[in-house]
Each structure stands twice: as C-alpha cells, then as structure tokens.
Amino acid sequence: MYFRMLCILGLALAGQLLAQESFSYGDSLLAVVGEKVITAYEVKQAAAQAEARLPRDLSQQQREERIIEIRRQALNRIIEHELIFLEFQALKATVPVTVLQERLDLVIQEQTAGDRAKFEDLLYRENLTLREFTDKLSKNLAVEMLLYDRVNSGIAIPEPRIQAYYQEHAEEFRQQMQFRLQVIQLKKEGRYAGKLPETCAEIRRRLAAGEPFDALARLYSEGAQAAEGGDQGWMTSLNEKLYAVVKKLKIGECSQTDLELGDSIYLVKLKDFLRGADALNPDIAAKIRRHLEQEEEQQRYRKFIQELYGKYKVQRMDGNN
C-alpha cells in the first residue's frame, strides 16, 4: 500500500521532479529495481555533466524540456545498470579480486598519482569511504563483464556484408584526392621586383640550412596566407602546372624549381596529402566493419535489456512503466 501511494505521488510530480532545482532530491523516489531504490538526487548527479553542456542561449522553456529529457535518459541508464547487476548476481558470478585491485590502483594513479592516503582524503570530502568506493567499483566491473559477454564478444562481420554495405552507401565513402600546400608567393611587380631570382635563391639557401618553411613564408611571402606560414588549407583541385609540380613531392618536401603562375613566382611545399578513394579499400572496410559491429552491439544490448525487464521487477514513478 505504501509503495502504491509512492507510485501515485511519483506520477503526479514526475515532470517537476526531474526539472526543478529547488526540489528536495534526496527524498524523491523515481524508481525501484529489485531492492534498489533510485532517487532523483542520484539521477541529478548522473545528469549533471550533460546539463552543464547545454547551450547558454536556450529559452527557459527549452532548457527545462532538455533537462527533463536528459534526466529521463539518465534514469534509464541507471535502471539498466541495476538490471544487469541483478543478472550478474543471479548467475552467481564474481569479479576477480586481481581485476578489482588493478582497476582500483589505476583509479588511484589517475586521480592522485598513486597516493592512497590522498585518494582516501578525496573520497572523505565526497562523503565516501574507500570500502564504499571499492564496492561501487566492483559493481561497475560486474556490469562491464556481463555486457562484454552478452553484447560485445563474438561479433564477426563477414566480408560480403561489408561489401554490400559499401555498395549501398558508396557515395558516403567516395573521396576526392586532397592536397594541403604551403607556398611562398613572390609577385613579379611586388617588393622583390627586379631581384626575383636572387630572392628565390636566398630562400632556398635558408631552407637548405634548416630554417622552417612557415617562418620563411611569414618573412618573404606576399600571398594572402603569409601570416599563416603560407598554408593554403586543403585543396581538391589544382591547375595543371601546379599539379605537375606537386605530384612529384613527398609529404614535407619543397619543390626544387620555382613555379611561375600568372604575375607571381611560387615556392611550393606539400604539407599533407589524402589519397582519393572511389572503391572499397582497407581503410574504408575497417570503418564499415566498426560501424556494423556497433550496430550489432546496439541490437544485442536492446534485446538483452528487454529480456531483463521481463525477468526482474522494475517500478518507475515517471510515467514510463
């Protein structure tokens, strides 16, 4: 009877409960999974980082709506976490002591450079004992282990499926050849008029002596990107004369001859290069394989969670039973 009254109260207040900052979160019940009670305070904590990333230009109504949705998603994740842990317990599985200790040591190393006393003091300020923290860590590891067994392991995507996916989405993967160039541009009628050959030779001597191309571009170049070290950004098409020079270069190399285009002389460096792709290659196949693996993991996860909802009792007070 008491539990039913809590459910009715929770349904009436769910929207306000998830959105209002002034509500007493520690006293607010949102769900019960097995014997685990989930409070609005826990949900608020779980949603805090996502809420902090909300755009500042949202209206009050938009912000409240987004916060409600973020907290509903957080509640879903907490419920699913508890369901998985219930299944882990039902299987009478255990987290190996060595695995738990390794993870604890890793956390202490990351948080306090391995200083255990300092870590315990950090926990104390968060109202946690080391024992309580270790229990939570063990629970998280239990969930990780079961998820790996039921969701992540044993996925093998056959090559024909990768090829079929590529054929269906070929346009998404088709890539143009791209060049990223740096140039030093000397205008024929610019500040080096009458001494272009000498200036080009001087620049090349300094390059040969090990001076950085971008520093010399800032010093000599009369081009629009001189301040950026002559960086032209990524380019997908080059005129015939420029391409004839660039195609001979390796990444990081500078052209050995000066290039005359229009009213300027150019010294060209190939900063980076992306080979185009209009057919399935190993890089594209790897991306497709990972995408299909993630799809399979998501399908397995949803199926697993549905099975757990049918196996264990879940009471929600947000109207989503």
Q: Which amino acid, 144?
A: E
Q: What is the pLDDT, as a whole number, of residue 160? A: 95
pLDDT: which is higher, 177 or 1: 177
Q: What is the pLDDT, as a whole number, of residue 294? A: 97
Evaluated on CA atoms 23, 25, 31, 35, the torsion sign reads: negative
For residues 89 and 138, give the distance between their C-alpha atoms in angstroms, rounded to a whole number: 12
Strand partners, 182: 231, 269
Which candidate, 23, 65, 54, 52, places its Cα nearest to that of 40? 23
Phi, psi of 212 (to 5 degrees): -65, 140
Residue with tokens 């520093």: 215
Strand partners, 274: 178
pLDDT: which is higher, 303 or 169: 303
> Which domains, and CATH codes, for the chain?
2-89 (no CATH), 97-153 (no CATH), 176-274 (3.10.50.40)
Report whether pLDDT(11) > 50: no
Report whether pLDDT(227) > 80: yes
The token pair that represents 135 in the structure block: 């229990």
Average pLDDT over residues 54-60: 93
**% of the chain beyond a pLDDT of 70:** 89
pLDDT tens-digit map of 272-319: 988 766 678 888 899 999 999 999 999 999 999 999 999 999 999 876
Q: What is the pLDDT, as a whole number, of residue 276? A: 66
pLDDT tens-digit map of 120-145: 999 999 899 999 999 999 999 999 99
Q: Is the pTM of this model over 0.85?
A: no
Q: What is the pLDDT, as a whole number, of residue 170? A: 82
Cα–Cα distances in angstroms (integers) from residue 320 to residues 17, 75, 79, 250, 315, in the given order: 14, 11, 12, 60, 9
**% of the chain beyond a pLDDT of 90:** 75
Q: What pLDDT band is residue 320 in, cutting at 50, 70 and 90?
A: low
Q: What is the pLDDT, as a whole number, of residue 174? A: 72
Q: Which amino acid, 244?
A: A
Please state, as a whole number, how many other Cβ atoms lie within 10 Å of the Cβ of residue 275: 10
pLDDT tens-digit map of 18-45: 444 433 444 589 999 999 999 999 999 9
Weakest mean pLDDT among 10-24, 52-66, 193-207, 265-279 = 10-24
Q: What is the pLDDT, as a whole number, of residue 83? A: 98
pLDDT tens-digit map of 76-91: 999 999 999 999 999 9
